[in-house]
Amino acid sequence: MKKILIATLMIVTLAPISNAHGDEHNKQSHEIDVTVFADGLKQPWGMTFLPDGRLLVTEKAGHLRIIDTNGQVSVPIEGVPAVNTKGQGGLLDVVLDPNFIENKTIYFSYALLEQDDNESRTAVAKAQLHNDTLSHVKPIWQQAHSKKAGYHYGSRLVFDRTGHLFVTLGDRNYGKDEVQDLSTHFGKVVRIDTDGKPAANNPFLNQSNALPDIYSYGHRNIQGAFLHPETGELWANEHGPRGGDEINVIKAGHNYGWPVITYGINYNGTPITDKRFMEGMEQPIHYWDPSIATSGMLIYNGKAFPNWQGDIFTGALKLMHLNRIKLNDQHQVLTEERLLKAQKQRIRAIEQGPDGFIYVATDNSAGQILKITPAQ
């Protein structure tokens, strides 16, 4: 596929949030080129690179495709289960098994199509990918309860360093009773093994009133998650209401407060709560007000952009940009940049390629994969 130059731009760092100096800001900037790596996609949602450099991409409508190293998009791969595409549902994230080279296994999350198509729940399946075809497709996990509304499914998939799979789950637009209740999966992060069973050291494994696969709770709708390349911790961005998008470090057994505490308000302007802090509930590393509508996450550790080592990249759906944040060792935000604003596209997913370049998926019916490289 012919690559089309979209833009060459100098990134200009925004005013500091705290403890930063202008000279240091300039050192953190990179001049970049942005090209269309692939197009012809319809609402791409999740993506991951295969060992041979090709890109595996999900489309919300239920299609799984492979993009070769020249940007050519395959026909849909057969064998994907039927998904519920109402509202925010559909085929969601996709990841490779840590031993993919040996076992050819992939995992994908989706809105499960129930017999009553008004009901749905987030589910995870695994399959083997051989010669661009799926085989041995097996659902391994699903939420304990379904719901009629087509909102807030999550759902990012991240493997930890022990080979267990994190699944992020939205609140499905439920309130405090369900999200704070450990007997439901609404507003939770779960941690399971590759057969869908609870991880052996999960924090609520032996608690009688809790689901054993829950890892953390009190979340609204995590649509971006990434395992920190240095610490191995799970980091996530949380799609808030009107205001209150967050970045969090997800810790075992911790409560992240939704909707008891939040920096956001209802979309109609009414308050959700007057509380921003409460004992026993975590504060975010960073929050946005107004919201940028977060989705997708990357903590960069490549060589192509040395000044961005360790920086957090987050997609912005509403404000249509790629957000970059630099933290200090105390997790304080030093600088924030808003990239790709000229493209005016909703950013849904972000991946670092084997070449060290950054790839982003745009969320619309004529979706693209954009490739960010150092300027030539």
Within 8 A by CB and 6+ apart from 102, the residues are none
Cβ of 48: how many Cβ atoms within 10 Å? 19
b/e per residue, 105-126, with b = 16+ CB within 10 A? bbbbbbbbbeeeeeebbbbbbb
Query: How far, in Å, CA of 199 to CA of 197, rounded?
Result: 6
Has 164 been annotated as catalytic?
no
Taking alpha carbons only, the member of 304, 328, 323, 301 closest to residue 228 is: 301
Specify whether the CB–CB gap between 305 and 356 falls below 8 A.
yes
Distances (CA, A) of 70 to 18, 184, 359: 42, 44, 14
Q: How far is CA 218 from the centre of its chain?
A: 17
Sheet containing 55-59: order of strands: 44-49, 55-59, 63-67
- Radius of gyration of the chain, Cα coordinates, nearest whole angstrom: 20
Query: How far, in Å, CA of 168 to CA of 157, rounded?
Result: 7
List 25, 30, 63, 152, catalytic entry: 152
Positions annotated as catalytic residues are 152
